[in-house]
Chains A and B, each alone.
Chain A
Amino acid sequence: MRTQRQGAGEQTDPVIALAQLTPGTRATVVGTAAEANPVIAKRLGQLGFRANARVDVVRRAPLGDPTIYRVHDTELCLRRREAQLIEVVPEADR
């Protein structure tokens, strides 16, 4: 399966799933999870969730899912299922 861990060299940064972040936080995309379906990984990449891209977690829907993210100057919403596949390094403080 295809993995795109380009920033994985920095061992100190914890890599977590985008879905774990709370609204108001910011993170840098590392890649898509190894177990992700390559087709879905491709689409997420096309939408801007590529290595080194900055992602802002904007807002969660009142019913808990989906969540709005800002990536590449666009606001997009993803369900938890897809956000779980995006690996990010959260920014410590804003």
Chain B
Amino acid sequence: MTACHDVEGATVAVAGIRRVALVGSPNAGKTSVFNHLTGLRAKTGNYPGVTVARSVGTTHVNGTPIAVEDLPGTYSLEPISPDEQVVTDLLAGTCAGIDPPDAIVLVADATTLRRSILLIGQVLRLDLPCLLALTMGDELASRGGRIDTDALSTALGIPVTAVVAHHGSGIDDVRTQLASFAQWQRPPVLPPAEPDAIDAWGQSVLDAADYVAPQPDRRTQRIDRVLLHPVWGTVTFFAVMFYFFQVLFTAAAPLRDGIGHALTWLGGQVADHVGNPVLRGLFSQGIIGGVGTVLQFIPQIVLLFCLLAFLESVGYMSRAAFLMDRVMAKTGLEGRAFVAMLSSFACAIPGIMATRTLPSSRDRIATIVTAPLMTCSARLPVYTLLVGLLVAPQTRWWGLSAQGVTMFLLYLGGGLSALIAALLVKSTILRGDLLPFTMELPPYRLPSPRAMLAAMWSAARVFLRKAGTIILATSLVLWALLNLPVREAQTRGMSTTDTTAYVMNHSYAADVGRAVEPVFSPLGFDWRTDIALVGSLSAREVFVSTLGQVAAASDPDAPQAALATMTDDHGRRIFTAPTVIALMIYFMFALQCMSTIAVMRRETNTWRWPAFAFSYMFVLAWVMAFIAHSIALGLGA
């Protein structure tokens, strides 16, 4: 062992870090093995030219680092889509800019070995050093199946290690073996290439390993009898979705408020200790405020990913997709897109990140560019303000609270428009996908805390690092627009709120607001509203506080009273019913969220799709708001 280490130590020094690729079918436990090997330090990115996420981590064997790459799950090395082509190209060394790996760790689920033996055969034909990590051996035994791993190793001609991904047993064994992949046993004869011959080869290997396939999982059958029942299944589905949102909104709110309070306190400290008013504003509003926008999203995103990971690792997510596939098929998407759309009701960012489970890149992009139409939680404060300006709290329509009905209609409008937009996108620019809809329904399993932690951590990290930088940069720019130039001379002796209002109404943002006023005046927005629209480009809820500052409201976060009586330069009320309706409609459609744009860029690996989404949503928002404004004016509202 020591001798071969020295030899490899030399190769590392010469050829750089050695690379191992994990190859396996979807659901084989590949990502679990990857997480165990690399811990939580994986780097994620995209493969060149496609929207397939790439994750590379490092594992240390006796102090030597080895790069481990988690390839996308695949059933075969004969790809039928450009996304699947990535795995084949990478292993063959024909992927632009990426060298083939030095060795392959095949990951296969022992309970479905009859299917994955084909992939194993194809990978062996690449003639690279190969090791088979066989997962779910415990489940195979408990369901009445069996396999002789030593005999399997002999029959395949490569080392085989049993791994229980759930608690990580066998992982150390795999790691130790990685140190000496050059010494791994190689098959004396490669498996045949012809489809019929490879079937026979697979059968002979399984026979030699004394393989007995498992019985169907009784527990899964019993649970499915209820959870997929026409009546009980549907009831459970809606109950699960209901509690999903309950937990999301109620549990994340205190955490978000806690972060908010902590940042307010920090801002107060800055205000007390920084003398220069411009610097003070920059620190307390620009930086702390900007970072705050990012941080306040974190609890909800982490919680959402925790719930998604729980439902996924238990096995319910594929059942939900199965139940909803018929509905999603009407939009040209598939059941799995439902999960992404649903998450977008909380926030489009995790929704967009959840599209990674979709095998078809056209479906993925169609979902990414339409999910932001779903009524996310950032619209809630905007809608609350606007609904309050439009209808009085005691007004009742058909015996129901008019505010509640309006809010419901806004939510419904968002949801329907996302589905309609998906239908349009899928039947025009993203038409013609050959990939058939196929989805595996794994047996119900107890969730692995480690897998859930990994999912939460990667989501939070992606959001903090990638979206965080863009959000911080834009909030700094917006702060500068809203607060510069400095008006110290003019505001001397004014109260704080009046100062804020004066500075804002004479800022660069006001110039922008006046410059874009002709664009928005057909919708009934005057330049003060436009300042808030410009401000809300960073995040929708900024609309409320910006408008509050523009109107010099005593509490900028609850500016309703000040806004209701606000007048324009000619003394007319600004927030008339048609204008408020137009604003609601505008916010229903417009993509006023830098974080979403940043995540879209990240997930699609190009600026083209975020640019497309921003443009079509702006046009849609403007046209629909114009129509709504005109109708409301015509009706004399």
Contact = CB atoms under 8 A, between A and B. Distances in A.
B230 A73 contact: no
Most buried by A among B115, B229, B435: B115
21 contacts: A39-B80, A39-B434, A40-B80, A42-B80, A46-B75, A46-B118, A50-B199, A59-B228, A61-B228, A62-B233, A63-B323, A63-B327, A65-B325, A66-B322, A66-B335, A66-B437, A68-B322, A70-B216, A73-B111, A73-B213, A77-B438
A43 B436 contact: yes
Nearest to B225: A59
A75 B438 CA distance: 10
Contact of A65 (B118, B214, B329, B436): B329
Contacts of B195: 45
A86 B435 CA distance: 16
B511 interface: no
A87 B441 CA distance: 22
Contacts of B440: 74-76
Contacts of A22: none
A61 B118 contact: no
A43 B234 contact: no
A8 interface: no
A74 B26 CA distance: 12
A21 interface: no
Given A76-B440, A76-B441, 16 more contacts: A46-B75, A47-B75, A59-B224, A59-B228, A63-B326, A65-B326, A66-B325, A66-B335, A66-B439, A70-B216, A74-B112, A75-B441, A76-B438, A78-B438, A79-B329, A82-B437
Interface string B136-153: 000000000000000000
Contacts of A45: 195
Contacts of B325: 61, 65-66, 77, 79
A46 B326 CA distance: 24
A66 B328 CA distance: 11
B78 A77 contact: no
A72 B112 contact: yes
A7 interface: no
A78 B436 contact: yes
A79 B233 CA distance: 19
A26 to B, nearest CB: 12
A48 B322 contact: no
Contacts of A48: 114-115
Contacts of A75: 216, 440-442
A37 interface: yes
Contact of A73 (B114, B233, B436): B114
A46 B112 CA distance: 13
B316 to A, nearest CB: 14
A77 B441 contact: yes
Of all A-B residue pairs in the complex, the 10 with the closest CB atoms, nearest first, are A63-B326, A62-B230, A72-B115, A75-B441, A46-B76, A46-B75, A82-B436, A72-B114, A39-B80, A73-B213
Contacts of B115: 47-48, 72-74
Nearest to B321: A77
A34 interface: no
Interface residues of A, number: 30
A66 B439 CA distance: 10
A44 interface: yes
A39 B195 CA distance: 15
A64 interface: yes
Interface string B54-76: 00000000000000000000011
Given A64-B326, A77-B322, A77-B441, A43 B230 contact: no
A43 B438 contact: yes
A42 B78 contact: yes
A64 B438 CA distance: 16
Most buried by B among A43, A47, A68: A43
Contacts of A72: 112, 114-115
Interface in B101-131: 111-112, 114-115, 118
Nearest to A44: B436
Nearest to B75: A46
A94 to B, nearest CB: 14
A73 B441 CA distance: 11
B328 to A, nearest CB: 11
A45 to B, nearest CB: 8
Contacts of A64: 326
Nearest to B224: A59
B137 to A, nearest CB: 14
A77 B319 CA distance: 10
B330 to A, nearest CB: 10
Nearest to A52: B199
Most buried by B among A40, A75, A78: A75
Contacts of B224: 59
Contacts of B213: 73
Contacts of B199: 50
B136 to A, nearest CB: 11
Nearest to A82: B436
Contacts of B323: 61-63
A73 B214 contact: yes
A50 B233 CA distance: 31
Contacts of B216: 70, 75
A39 B229 CA distance: 33
Contacts of B80: 39-40, 42-43
Given A47-B115, A61-B326, A64-B326, A79 B78 contact: no
